[in-house]
Amino acid sequence: MTEEFFDKPATNKAVMGTVVALVIAALAAGIYWYGKGSSQLQPTVAPPPAPPAPTAEARIEHPVPAAEPSKAPLPDLNDSDKAVGDALGEAAGGALKAYLVPESIIRHIVVTIDNLPRQKVAVDKRPVAPAPGSFVANGDELHATLDSRNFERYAPMVETFGKLDMQKLAAVYMRFYPLFQKAYQDLGYPNGYFNDRVVKVIDELLATPQIAGPIDLVRPNVMYIFADQSLESRPAGQKLLLRMGPDNAAIVKSKLTELRAALTAAPPAH
């Protein structure tokens, strides 16, 4: 079975992060929700990515657009939470305050974004708070479908995300980009370029298929998974968009399209 992704009730609350997971880069995505089962079961943590082989020179495909000049010097990465949090709050009009985890903001965003194309995401690195409520499936272990009531759990965050000004949030990202780049290199990519990773992840999320009708689930063990292996084998970010429902996913994709244009000065290819 691949990474668990539906809620676990009782004392171990669901861990989600994030439909605002690129908050600074404003990219929506998420950590898995855990399924019904023993409250003693602990979430799986993704292993750290293997460092890529060194290259003589990084090939940059999407250079970050120049940021507006700022009188304030950039803080050290380890001391950046207040500056980044304040800048995000100002850019988003306080809309993100209820969701953003205020510690290690940049590092958690970088780890989450880097993990979204993978099958597993590190649940202890979420940049946003858990979603309320519990997962609901229609049916039993042999045949179930994803209940549309689950989509409502994402609705408040998606509504907030849909109102964000991507240009303003992209400006915050550009201003603090050197810190994002450092966090990405610290993650094990000394020759990598973080904005290229961001654009790649956005493109992958935009490629998430639109599923018409109920989505079938099975429960071969403790956790529910997609019955269709072509869906279950998809990356974590795409599975989150599938789980949040077509209407929520459409809003997220629209905002990601705006963000991509801001970060590359060009619209995504169709």
Closest residue by Cα to residue 172 from 85, 75, 79, 252? 85
CA–CA separation, 239 and 257 (whole Å) = 18
pLDDT of residue 65 exceeding 50: yes
Distance of CA 82 to the CA centre of its chain: 21
Could you tell me which residue, 12 or 115, shows the higher pLDDT?
A: 115
pLDDT in tens, 86-115: 998 888 887 776 677 778 899 989 988 998
Helix (H), strand (E), coil (C) string for 177-191: HHHHHHHHHHCCCCC
Count the alpha carbons within 13 Å of 136 in the hemisphere toward its beta carbon: 10
Percent of the chain whose predicted confidence (pLDDT) is above 90: 39
Q: Where are the beta strands (DSSP E) in the chain?
A: 137-139, 144-146, 216-218, 225-226
Better-predicted residue by pLDDT, 64 or 46 = 64
Count, residues in the chain: 270
> Reduced to 3 states, what is the DSSP secondary structure of residue 10?
coil
Determine the 3-state secondary structure of 91 from DSSP: helix
Write down the pLDDT at residue 132. 60
| Predicted pLDDT at 122 | 52
Contact 256, 71 (CB under 8 A): no
- Report the candidate in 122, 189, 167 with the shortest Cα–Cα distance to residue 262: 167
Radius of gyration of the chain (CA): 18
d(C-alpha 152, C-alpha 133), whole Å:
10
Give the CA-trace dihedral at 189, 190, 192, 193, to 10 degrees.
120
Q: What is the pLDDT of residue 95?
A: 73
Fill in the DSSP letter of residue 36.
S
Q: How far is CA 125 from CA 26, 63, 130, in A?
A: 16, 26, 12
Lowest mean pLDDT among 104-108, 154-158, 175-179: 154-158
Domain ranges of the chain: 77-264
Spatial distance between the Cα atoms of 90 and 93, rounded to a whole number of angstroms: 5
The three-point CA angle 197-83-15 to 5° equals 60
Q: What is the pLDDT, as a whole number, of residue 221?
A: 82
Asked if residue 169 has pLDDT above 60, the reply is yes
Residue of higher predicted confidence among 154 and 235: 235
